[in-house]
């Protein structure tokens, strides 16, 4: 039987929700959502007759023939308004690449550039141009290429109509900018190989161009992106036509690397299982079909990958860390199954990482792509395992063999259905294996406003037998022996969202049986049923400098798998103010009821299994708006586990000109659980100092400080990246992890790495192309 929230606090929360939900969009004048979605755009590309040189100058022959389009619309601050300055572009192509030339008009003295570092999100706060391309026009996938007025580049990949954003994706492309007397110009070359497009008689793509105008804190789109759609929402793009008779050939890309590493000990190893002092390996990718690839990796190394941020949980559920490793990001659109950060059947960080420490990968093979309406993916990875070595940063891990298969069919323009299967085998004395799989379906309406997603999946896991373990004295049994066992379970999910301009309802349902496991996935709370529903009302007033206000209630409940017991219940409401100048104020209040089933340890104290309830409040203020100094302050308080948890936080970004950026945040956690003498008072911080010498040479210094009980430590990663050719880099990385406090007896970890990569690409012409 479900238990309701205490009457007094439930009434208080209901009153707050009713108050902040009382406004309606009819009370505030604004543009019609249907009128805004009516800004359809189509452009016809022109074939280049001669070689196009990327230099930011429109003096190539094709730019004298290609039509000029300047139909840009303001997205912010005035949604649907006419930009006060002109932006125009042309598009051309040849057998190898797509070319885009953009003309930006503005007073030269007002051009703002505060970022030179490649792949910095600060580029979006500068005067910049961003191309967004949906090469297969599936209205779900977007390749994003941006460049600011000084030539600093950024690229990313957006999946599921902008629902999943991968800033770690790194493509091979060229772009140059040039200042003029009337503003600046940008010229792009995007290889069809980067977009996954090979020879075809005729094709059309989803296409959009956005311009950020820093002086006005404004953004202009060729095809207007209507909120709340992501800026990379492919369903909102225009159409690029006229690309015909491409004979781009078959691309072969090879990226070898060589590496030298020292951990400052008088030892040497070339064993790939032990973080060797010298290593070599590489990746190769071969294009098979119009948009299909086979990719292989040998002795993969991710030394240059950015370290994870410190996170600290205030409950008993696992934290989610995003994937950053390049081999696993390529083709991830095909392998996506589930809800990121909540319920994923496949989560690539389960491969080659144990307790967030790397395990050597012997090799991997991946095939992925799309032929007609069918998308497919196959992945196999073999890890080598390792013996625990804190000095070298190695965990204790057995070799594993992992295989993933994925198939998705575009049934209609708005619906796709798919299937996924996964298998994992762990070698060694305690060998185990598992398998899982499921089917899913997704709906995205033509205008992107209605979105639905659902899946049904199952798991089979064979657990090995374990022997009993004794305590430190050897006299008492710390963990009893257990026989081998096999578990089977099922899970399902369904959600529907309406992303309207003024009203945004949503509902979702997630269920998994008690025996369901996702050994290759991520489930925040398996063995429960979760129901969630909410609605936001979003008036867009024209007074007080406001852009929009979002207000609305949310209800969520977690129940036992048999639906016989309410585990967690949250009733909450929120209000958010967004100003045109870039400021944002948020406030939420709610009541949480939490039935803890098993005791757990939080901040060094045991929380008993029983029913808890209390209020939660969160407030934050952010000042952004393309300023050189941006900050966010927040404060959260929660009555939890017969105690109270306070969490103040601060974030700041300081751009000291285009060469130096300081970015950091600090969170503090203070309070008690149970009894007042079970108190805690600690903080954690993540920060970075970036020095960009040129758009292709930069040093990133990343600091991680964790003062949480039992995890005290300081981490530093300094990384020099120098791109000497397109796709080719030199990395020099210093990394250290120094424990202290309760972890002071652990050994510090230091290493210095020099890694050199070289990007090689060859194009093999098809036989019919050579004959013609």
Instruction: For residue 39, name the pLDDT band (cuts at 50, 70, 90).
Output: confident
The pLDDT value given to residue 18: 44
Number of C-beta neighbours around residue 29 at 10 A: 10
Measured between alpha carbons, how far is 634 from 469 in angstroms, rounded to an integer? 45
% of the chain surpassing 70 pLDDT? 90
Minimal CA–CA distance to 156: which of 395, 333, 21, 335? 333
Measured between alpha carbons, how far is 273 from 400 in angstroms, rounded to an integer? 13
DSSP state of 386: B
The model scores a pTM over 0.85: yes
What is the token pair recorded at 688?
Answer: 């970075």
Beta strands in 427-540 (DSSP E): 432-444, 450-463, 469-470, 477-479, 485-498, 503-512, 522-523, 529-537
Measured between alpha carbons, how far is 618 from 616 in angstroms, rounded to an integer? 7
Measured between alpha carbons, how far is 735 from 748 in angstroms, rounded to an integer? 11
If phi > 0 it is left, if psi is from -120 to 50 it is alpha, else beta; for residue 396 that is: beta
Measured between alpha carbons, how far is 668 from 20 in angstroms, rounded to an integer? 29
The pLDDT value given to residue 298: 93
Sign of the C-alpha dihedral computed for residues 541, 545, 547 and 549 taken in this order: negative
Q: Which residue has the tokens 């991830």?
A: 332
Instruction: For residue 625, name the pLDDT band (cuts at 50, 70, 90).
Output: confident
3-class state of residue 181 by DSSP = coil
CATH architecture of 34-247: Sandwich (2.60)
What is the token pair recorded at 371?
Answer: 């032929």
The pLDDT value given to residue 471: 54
Instruction: For residue 165, name the pLDDT band (cuts at 50, 70, 90).
Output: confident
Has residue 144 got a pLDDT over 70? yes
The average pLDDT across 447-470 equals: 88
State pLDDT tens for residues 583-612: 999 999 999 999 999 999 999 999 999 999
What is the token pair recorded at 564?
Answer: 């016989």
pLDDT top residue among 291 and 387: 387
Q: How does DSSP assign 186-243, residue by residue?
A: EEEEEEHHHHT---EEEEEEEEEEEEEEGGGTEEEESS---TTS-TT-GGG-EEEEEE
What is the token pair recorded at 739?
Answer: 């424990």
Indicate the average pLDDT of the chain.
Answer: 89
Q: Return all residues near 136 (Cβ < 8 A) that are at least 6 apart.
A: 196, 197, 205, 291, 370
Q: Which class for 4: exposed (0-12), middle (13-18), buried (19 or more C-beta within 10 A)?
A: exposed
Cα–Cα separations (whole angstroms), residue 434 to 398, 526, 653, 731: 15, 16, 45, 38
State pLDDT tens for residues 276-335: 999 999 999 998 876 788 999 999 888 889 889 999 999 999 999 988 888 888 777 788
Measured between alpha carbons, how far is 381 from 330 in angstroms, rounded to an integer? 14
Domain chopping of the chain, boundaries? 1-30+528-595, 34-247
Instruction: For residue 245, name the pLDDT band (cuts at 50, 70, 90).
Output: confident
Using alpha carbons only, give the angle 120, 126, 130 rounded to the nearest 5 degrees.
Answer: 75
Instruction: For residue 31, name the pLDDT band (cuts at 50, 70, 90).
Output: low
Minimal CA–CA distance to 128: which of 86, 185, 181? 185
């Amino acid at each position: 039987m479900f238990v309701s929230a205490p009457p007094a606090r439930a009434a208080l929360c209901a009153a707050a929700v009713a108050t902040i939900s009382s406004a309606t969009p009819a009370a505030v004048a604004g543009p019609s959502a249907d009128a805004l979605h009516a800004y359809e755009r189509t452009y016809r590309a022109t074939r280049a007759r001669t070689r196009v040189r990327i230099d930011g100058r429109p003096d190539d022959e094709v730019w004298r023939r290609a039509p000029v389009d300047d139909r840009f619309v303001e997205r912010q601050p005035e949604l649907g308004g006419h930009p006060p300055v002109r932006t125009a572009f042309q598009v051309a192509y040849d057998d190898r690449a797509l070319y885009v030339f953009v003309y930006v008009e503005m007073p030269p003295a007002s051009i703002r550039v505060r970022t030179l570092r490649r792949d910095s999100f600060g580029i979006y706060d500068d005067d910049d141009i961003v191309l967004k391309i949906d090469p297969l026009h599936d209205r779900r996938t977007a390749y994003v290429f941006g460049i600011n007025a000084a030539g600093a580049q950024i690229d990313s990949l957006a999946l599921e109509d902008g629902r999943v954003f991968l800033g770690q994706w790194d493509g091979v492309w060229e772009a140059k900018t040039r200042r003029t007397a009337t503003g600046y110009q940008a010229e792009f070359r995007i290889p069809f190989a980067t977009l996954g497009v090979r020879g075809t008689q005729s094709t059309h793509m989803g296409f959009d161009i956005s311009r950020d105008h820093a002086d006005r804190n404004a953004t202009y789109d060729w095809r207007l992106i209507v909120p709340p759609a992501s800026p990379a929402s492919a369903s909102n793009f225009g159409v690029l036509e006229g690309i015909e008779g491409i004979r781009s050939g078959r691309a072969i890309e090879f990226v070898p690397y060589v590496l030298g590493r020292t951990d400052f000990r008088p030892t040497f190893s070339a064993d790939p299982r032990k973080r060797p002092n010298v290593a070599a390996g590489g990746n190769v990718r071969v294009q098979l079909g119009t948009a299909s690839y086979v990719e292989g990796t040998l002795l993969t190394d991710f030394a240059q990958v950015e370290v994870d941020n410190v996170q600290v949980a205030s409950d008993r559920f696992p934290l989610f860390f995003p994937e950053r490793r390049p081999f696993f990001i390529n083709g991830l659109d095909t392998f996506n199954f589930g809800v990121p950060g909540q319920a994923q059947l496949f989560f690539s960080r389960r491969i080659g990482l144990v307790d967030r420490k790397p395990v050597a990968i012997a090799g991997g093979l991946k095939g992925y792509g799309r032929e007609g309406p069918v998308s497919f993916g196959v992945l196999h990875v073999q890890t080598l395992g390792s013996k625990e070595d804190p000095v070298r940063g190695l965990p204790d891990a057995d070799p594993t063999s992992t295989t993933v298969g994925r198939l998705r069919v575009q049934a209609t323009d708005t619906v796709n259905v798919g299937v996924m299967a996964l298998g994992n085998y762990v070698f060694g004395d305690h060998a185990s294996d598992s398998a899982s799989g499921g089917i899913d379906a997704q709906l995205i309406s033509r205008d992107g406003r209605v979105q639905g997603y659902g899946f049904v999946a199952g798991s089979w896991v064979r657990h090995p037998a374990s022997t009993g373990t004794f305590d430190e004295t050897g006299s008492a049994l710390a963990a009893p022996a257990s026989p081998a066992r096999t578990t089977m379970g099922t899970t399902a999910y369904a959600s529907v969202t309406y992303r309207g301009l003024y009203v945004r309802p949503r509902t979702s349902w997630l269920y998994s049986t008690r025996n369901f496991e996702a050994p290759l996935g991520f489930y925040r709370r398996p063995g429960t049923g979760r129901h969630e529903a909410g609605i936001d009302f979003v008036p867009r007033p024209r007074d007080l400098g406001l852009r929009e206000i979002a207000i609305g209630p949310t209800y969520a409940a977690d129940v036992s798998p048999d639906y016989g017991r309410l585990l967690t219940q949250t009733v909450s409401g929120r209000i958010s103010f967004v100003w045109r100048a870039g400021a944002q104020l948020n406030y939420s209040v709610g009541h949480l009821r939490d039935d803890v089933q098993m005791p757990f340890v939080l901040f060094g104290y045991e929380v008993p299994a029983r029913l808890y309830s209390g209020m939660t409040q969160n407030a934050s203020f952010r000042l952004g708006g393309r300023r050189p100094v941006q900050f966010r302050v927040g404060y959260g308080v929660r009555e939890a586990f017969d105690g109270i948890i306070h969490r103040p936080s601060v974030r700041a970004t300081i751009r000291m000109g285009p060469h130096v950026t300081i970015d950091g945040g600090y969170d503090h956690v203070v309070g008690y659980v149970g009894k007042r003498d079970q108190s805690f008072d600690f903080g954690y911080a993540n920060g970075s100092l970036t020095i960009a010498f040129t758009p292709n040479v930069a040093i990133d210094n990343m600091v991680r400080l964790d003062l949480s009980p039992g995890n005290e430590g300081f981490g530093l990663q300094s990384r020099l990246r120098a791109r000497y050719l397109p796709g080719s880099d030199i990395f020099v990385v210093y990394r250290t992890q120094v424990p202290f406090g309760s972890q002071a007896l652990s050994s510090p970890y230091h290493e210095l790495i020099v890694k050199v990569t070289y990007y090689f690409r060859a194009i093999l012409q098809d036989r019919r192309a050579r004959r013609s």
